[in-house]
Structure 1
């Protein structure tokens, strides 16, 4: 299947339109109270009595999808929440320290079965990467998507660093 550039599909999916949309999303997330409902719903679902899957199901019932990013040995290194009702996508760290990957790792540690499954998934992904090398077009698309994700993550980290430096500067100034 031949892929068309976004400009052939329409202006609403082009680079400029997406950048404008992302800018609006960032502004909405910075508004006072924008994440309050999401924070409270996640907080209410967090319980050591639940399993990771039960936690996901509780949030799903409230219109929130949860994505755990897990390394090959089963450790959670990131959590993303997608609130379909509010149209918000937020990492746990964006919600606050009590929603960080470390907290979820302690709350929902991987069982031996999950660790085996994760290692098997990692092996499958490596096999898929090798298959993509045989199909260069899909490999290129996947690489571009991974690069876009990495750049977005790096930009988010740069913004956080700037904010930390600004806050540190304010604290030093006030002393």
Structure 2
């Protein structure tokens, strides 16, 4: 028997169901429905993942999406309870602009980007979505943007200057 992986040991993930979609297939006897779920999971400490699951009922679709999100989770470089610098994430026809905010500002974002920020543990951020507002593309663009954030140490090494 294999030992459980780190994700299976940790049970401190928070789940956010971003979107549930019902699809219909027309068959000889009528319509057959299936469901897809987009879920964001995170440990509120910089680790976050996006998952997509499909099934004939809603609960199994959400379970599959959660499993997929935990499998695809990534670690982000955060600067306290916000991000280190402005960033733009692009995916498909969607662009998400994210900017660090002063303490007490809160998460100013749409539902999809808000789920990513809250799951990652970001408490103060400003964001604006441009282009397509498809929730799947928004979450992927936001995560891509957050992954491109560099830490203060990386910026110091890159520029060759001292950052306070």
- Provide the TM-score with structure 2 as the length reference: 0.23
Which of 1 and 2 has higher RCO (CA within 8 Å, sep 6+)?
2
Q: Which has the higher strand share?
A: 2
- Provide the TM-score with structure 1 as the length reference: 0.22
Which structure would you say has the larger Rg? 1
